[in-house]
Amino acid sequence: MSDSNLLLEVCGVSNVYETSSLGFLGRKRRIPVLKNINFEIRRGEIFGLVGESGSGKTTLGNCILGLLGYEGTIRISGKERRGLRETARNIQAVFQDPDSSLDPSKTAGFLLEEPLVIHRAGSRTERDRRVDEVLELVGLDSSYKRRRVYELSGGQKQRICIGCALVLEPDLIIADEAVSALDVSVGAQILNLFRDLHERLGLSLFFISHNLNLVYYLCDTIAVMYRGEIVEKGEAEKLYAAPEHPYTKALLEAAPGIDRPPQGGV
């Protein structure tokens, strides 16, 4: 019997990039990136993926989003994902750079309403109400609806990106280096916003970062990726206190220690 608490199951996922340049004997070179990835995310969990640059974190996120092909199985709420459109609504993403995610000439209200219009969700009044709700959730008031993207700060833009991801009430948000482009204090506010959304909405989050401290600060469970493999995975407190894999130990030694906020229930 399937476990209804399981939101995402990644089973034996591998992926290979084909380069455009031709190698020896004129064949396209195939570069394996992900190697037999296995993990699961439960409903209401904040799952962190940490690893050095180039280890394959974004590639894995893109496989889950349906943007890249892979071998193996990815199940969402017990259903095997096939094709791109199927995950479009229940898994949403927030990326590193809000400037490349948002059209600068559009208003925040237009961008927040757009996913609802595309999915033909609700009447005009209902959509307007949902946009107000989402603005409140991301810590902005309804006057921001009329503000154009170029009139917003980096932190406010990232809040709009999070709002766009939230507006269709997804089961899971994939946040790929979502605070890495922001300065430290603004990044901390966005981390706290994710925590707040997790507590208020029971939001499940797949949080990707190269920074172990950020992942430890936010996440319940941490997976450590090294050269396309998950080399260690476990409860955040345990992994941080007693890492087993040499690569996790090296990551910890390189990161100055931080305190985690008290963990609230969902």
Which residue ranges make up the site for ligand ATP (CB under 6 A)?
A: 17, 19, 31, 33, 51, 53-59, 210
Distance separating alpha carbons of residues 80 and 112, to the nearest angstrom? 29
Q: Which residue has the tokens 């096939």?
A: 82
* Contact partners, residue 19, CB within 8 Å, separation at least 6: 28, 29, 30, 31
Q: Taking CB within 5 to 8 Å according to partner kind, which of ligand ATP, Mg ion, none is near residue 19?
A: ligand ATP
Which ranges of the chain would DSSP assign to H, the alpha helix?
57-65, 98-101, 108-118, 124-137, 154-166, 184-201, 212-218, 236-241, 246-254
Q: Taking CB within 5 to 8 Å according to partner kind, which of ligand ATP, Mg ion, none is near residue 54?
A: ligand ATP
Q: Which is nearer to ligand ATP, 156 or 248 (CB)?
A: 248
Strand partners, 35: none
Helix (H, G, I), strand (E, B) or coil at 82: coil
Q: Taking CB within 5 to 8 Å according to partner kind, which of ligand ATP, Mg ion, none is near residue 53?
A: ligand ATP
Q: Which is nearer to ligand ATP, 56 or 187 (CB)?
A: 56
Q: Which is nearer to Mg ion, 34 or 137 (CB)?
A: 34
Q: Residue 208 Cβ, how far from ligand ATP at the closest point, in Å?
A: 7
Check binding of 58 to Mg ion (CB under 5 A).
yes
Provide DSSP, 152-176: S-HHHHHHHHHHHHHTT--SEEEEE
Query: How many residues bind to Mg ion according to rule CB under 5 A?
Result: 2
Q: Which residue has the tokens 């507006």?
A: 167
Q: Which is nearer to ligand ATP, 18 or 253 (CB)?
A: 18
Q: Taking CB within 5 to 8 Å according to partner kind, which of Mg ion, ligand ATP, none is near residue 157?
A: none
Q: Which residues bind Mg ion (CB under 5 A)?
A: 57-58
